[in-house]
Amino acid sequence: MDIRTQTTKSNLKKALLQCMKKQAFSEIKVKDIILASGISSRTFYQYYKDTHALLLAVEDDILAEFNKALLADRSAVNGIDHVLSQDELITVAENISRNSISFFLKNKTKLEILTSDNGDIRFFNKMVEYANKEFAVRMEKMNPNYKAILAQEQSLPPEIVLGIFDINIINVVLQLIKYNDELSPADMRRYIAGYLTRTPLQFLGLMQ
């Protein structure tokens, strides 16, 4: 892709997000994006069929970066060949979110817009799908028998348990990045490690 095309597409994506700060995506028209970007309608249609195609391009860019961060964080569980102690588990839990936290902080504004009431609920669901696939791989690496263990401990299928877990952890991170002026990335990793290694009631200090 040449620089001119790349710049034009980038400006259209920025314009869409700018529009979504003010109104719901369902209300945005091509003319709104043209006005916000200063790019002609002819050029818009040269690259995108409609606003939905542009939104999909925005989401695909972010999801590709999210997936890259998840894959990079997988290295934290590579080589594990024994049941981890509590201290080891906490260390792994802190390292397992290093690149993901960086991704969330870098894309904070975009993520807040896309997951807002003006955004696309399907985008959040797509993030959960990516997380589901990656966490299943990590669980397999940490304990190949995890599905059997979950089946004994839970009345729900392992896939549903992981899905609920991933929804919660993504929501936790989305909340944490709102306080990036007060919390450092290391603080966020420690918070997530605590969330991952303790039950919600333990985490809140309501039980041992």
Given this model, what pLDDT does residue 207 score?
Answer: 56
**Number of domains the chain contains:** 2
Gap between the Cα atoms of 33 and 47, Å rounded: 13
Given this model, what pLDDT does residue 203 score?
Answer: 53
Given this model, what pLDDT does residue 96 score?
Answer: 86
Mean of the per-residue pLDDT values of the chain: 88
Gap between the Cα atoms of 115 and 105, Å rounded: 15
With bands split at pLDDT 50, 70 and 90, how would you rate the model's confidence at 208?
Answer: low
pTM summary value: 0.87
Closest CA to 130 of 107, 97, 163, 178: 163
Closest CA to 112 of 123, 101, 102: 123
Domain range for 157: 59-203
CA–chain centroid gap for 195, Å, is 17
With bands split at pLDDT 50, 70 and 90, how would you rate the model's confidence at 40?
Answer: very high
pLDDT in tens, 99-108: 999 999 999 9
Percent of residues, the chain, with pLDDT higher than 90 = 58
Tokens 């710049």 appear where? 7
Region 20-37: mean pLDDT is: 96
Given this model, what pLDDT does residue 149 score?
Answer: 72
Given this model, what pLDDT does residue 54 score?
Answer: 98
Region 65-88: mean pLDDT is: 84
SS3 sequence, 138-188? HHHHHCCCHHHHHHHHCCCCHHHHHHHHHHHHHHHHHHHHHHCCCCCHHHH
Gap between the Cα atoms of 194 and 68, Å rounded: 24
Residue 208 lies in a domain: no
Q: Are residues 70 and 107 in the same domain?
A: yes
pLDDT in tens, 117-164: 999 989 999 999 999 998 888 888 777 777 777 777 767 787 787 788
Region 60-78: mean pLDDT is: 93
Residue 54 lies in a domain: no
Q: What angle do CA 44, 50, 53 make, to 5 degrees?
A: 100
Q: Are residues 23 and 70 in the same domain?
A: no
Q: Are residues 142 and 82 in the same domain?
A: yes
Q: Are residues 144 and 192 in the same domain?
A: yes
Distances (CA, A) of 199 to 149, 184, 193: 17, 23, 11
Indicate if the pLDDT at residue 37 is higher than 90.
Answer: yes
Given this model, what pLDDT does residue 103 score?
Answer: 96
Higher pLDDT, 206 or 149: 149
| CATH label of the domain that carries residue 39 | 1.10.10
**Sequence-separated (6 or more) residues with CB below 8 Å from residue 203:** 194, 195
Q: Are residues 43 and 66 in the same domain?
A: no
Token pair, residue 156, equals: 């729900």
Token pair, residue 26, equals: 């369902």
Residue 137 lies in a domain: yes
